[in-house]
Amino acid sequence: MKIPHTFEGLIEKGFHIFAISTVRYLLFAGVAYLFFYLLFKNKWLHKRIQQKFPENSNIFFEIKYSMLNMVIFGITGMFTIWASWHGWTKIYAEISDYGMVYFLFSIIAMIFVHDTYFYWTHRFMHLKKVFPLVHKVHHHSLNPTPWAAFSFHPIEGFIEAGILPLITFLFPVHPLAILIFLLFMTALNVLGHLGFEMYPKGFTKHPLLGLNNTSTHHNMHHSLTNCNYGLYFNFWDKWMGTNHKKYHETFEKLAAQKASSDTNTVIKETVVLSE
């Protein structure tokens, strides 16, 4: 049933976006947490980036702020829909309007635009006077779990959510393409906060694979703060010289670990290298 373009209809749309965002967050973060922190915790200990596991209080903190941001995502979605109703966005209804090739291209374009948007807004939020007001909440997770994927201060929440209306103003996008983009974004965000390094040795030095960021990359950002600002790709960190100087070294040591009796000792040595 088509929802009428009324205030009540807009509220209903906002609730739908909140519900979908919440399910997406709980599903992706929940499955990752279930497999790596509960069911197979001991199996993957040798891939643990930081040896110590976070306290339950930190996990509750991450979930609390992430759920707050589900509301913010709903509000941002309402604004985007309202703008669309007034013809201010480039959202289109039929895939055939632009064809399947453009549909696929638009998904890739959204990912690259978001990667650039994230890097530079992230750098902005690390400015000395901005950080404590906007970004400090996210860095409460010095040792993040998958639940930290959307653990932001509300101001940062609106900044992060701002990518969606921005994209709809920039170029034509289909609602299904937006959904696929949001699923990709959530999956990669959870992976960045996983706390385990699952990519193989040599990944970061590979000419193609190395263009992608790793869990180690973002985990080092949380523990060391002023480095490794990128989201999906390593382009901007390479170009701007903001990769941590021991990023590749730390990754290689983690990726090379094998499950053994001395795993914990090896992990301790790896984390020290990142300090």
Token pair listed for 259: 């499950």
**One-letter identity of residue 38:** L
Looking at the chain, the whole-number percentage of residues with pLDDT higher than 90 is 89
**Is the CB of residue 67 less than 8 Å from the CB of residue 22?**
yes
pLDDT of amino acid 260: 60
Low-confidence ranges of the chain (pLDDT < 70): 1-2, 260-275
pLDDT of amino acid 273: 43
pLDDT of amino acid 157: 98
Domain ranges, ordered by start, for the chain: 7-273
pLDDT tens sequence across 88-109: 999 999 999 999 999 999 999 9
pLDDT of amino acid 82: 96
Token pair listed for 3: 């929802």
pLDDT tens sequence across 182-209: 999 999 999 999 999 999 999 999 999 9
**Is the CB of residue 28 less than 8 Å from the CB of residue 188?**
no
- pTM recorded for the entire structure: 0.92
Beta bridge partners of 212: 233
Quote the CA–CA distance of 213 and 219 in Å, as a whole number. 11
Q: Measuring CA to CA, which residue among 109, 165, 78 is closest to residue 70?
A: 78
Phi, psi of 93, rounded to the nearest 5 degrees: -90, -35
The number of angstroms, rounded, from the C-alpha of 116 to the middle of its chain's C-alpha atoms is 13
pLDDT of amino acid 2: 65
**Is the CB of residue 135 less than 8 Å from the CB of residue 142?**
no
